[in-house]
């Protein structure tokens, strides 16, 4: 199947979030923040969460890329622009009710603790941050993740900027290394995961 990578339209946020929810359904860090509940449709719940997370960043301060075949979204990557984000507080506050509905109070507090740990590991130099990337089960093994990375990193390189992410698995780290990221320090404090920071300096 022919796959095209491009910027997502606003009406595709939910479709991109659905792909991310499928990709992260078994993620140990996410399971620590928002454990599954009996009888729930976990992918639907996580889809609401990812949609709220994307919309919690102002449109001018994010890049949501999608991989599509026909009119079907099969991959998504959510990037945040270098800080500071003008209007970021307003965008985040607008999504708080949905985040609380999905996470609950306890899950929200766990998520804040998780974000603080992640933020402490981020470099001081301004950078694009890859918050989430995922591919649907039907499209895995076809290089979609690499296509999404190349699309975004071309944009980053044209602007002469740095890029940063965290990775929890050796397989993913091999992919990121092929695209110019180097291993940084492990991020501690998680019970079921061992994410590693990864940095890609600006191309000069």
* Mean pLDDT in residue range 117-131: 92
pLDDT exceeds cutoff 80 at 55:
yes
Chain centroid, CA 197 distance in Å: 14
In the chain, what percentage of residues exceed pLDDT 90?
65
pLDDT of residue 16: 98
pLDDT digits (tens, 9 = 90+) for 78-118: 999 998 888 888 998 899 999 999 998 888 888 888 888 88
Domains of the chain: 4-200 (3.40.630.30)
The neighbour count for residue 71, using CB atoms within 10 Å, is 7
Secondary structure letter of residue 129 according to DSSP? E
CA–CA separation, 50 vs 56, rounded Å?
10
pLDDT digits (tens, 9 = 90+) for 150-176: 999 999 999 999 999 999 888 889 999
pLDDT digits (tens, 9 = 90+) for 175-194: 999 999 999 988 887 777 78
């Amino acid at each position: 199947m022919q796959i095209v990578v491009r910027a997502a339209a606003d009406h595709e946020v939910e479709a991109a979030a659905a792909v991310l929810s499928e990709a992260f359904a078994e993620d140990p860090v996410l399971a620590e923040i928002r454990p599954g509940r009996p009888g729930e449709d976990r992918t639907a719940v996580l889809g609401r969460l990812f949609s709220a997370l994307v919309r919690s960043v102002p449109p001018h301060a994010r890049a949501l890329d999608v991989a599509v075949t026909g009119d079907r979204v099969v991959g998504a990557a959510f990037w945040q622009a270098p800080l500071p984000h003008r209007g970021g507080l307003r965008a985040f506050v607008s999504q708080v009710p949905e985040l609380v509905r999905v996470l609950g109070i306890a899950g929200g507090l766990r998520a804040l603790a998780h974000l603080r740990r992640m933020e402490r590991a981020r470099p001081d130099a301004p950078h694009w941050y890859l918050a989430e990337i995922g591919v649907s089960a039907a499209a895995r093994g076809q290089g979609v993740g690499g296509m999404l990375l190349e699309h975004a990193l071309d944009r980053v390189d044209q602007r002469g900027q740095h890029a940063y992410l965290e990775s929890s698995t050796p397989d993913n780290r091999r992919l990121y290394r092929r695209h110019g990221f180097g291993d940084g320090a492990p991020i501690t404090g998680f019970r079921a995961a061992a994410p590693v920071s990864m940095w890609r300096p600006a191309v000069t």
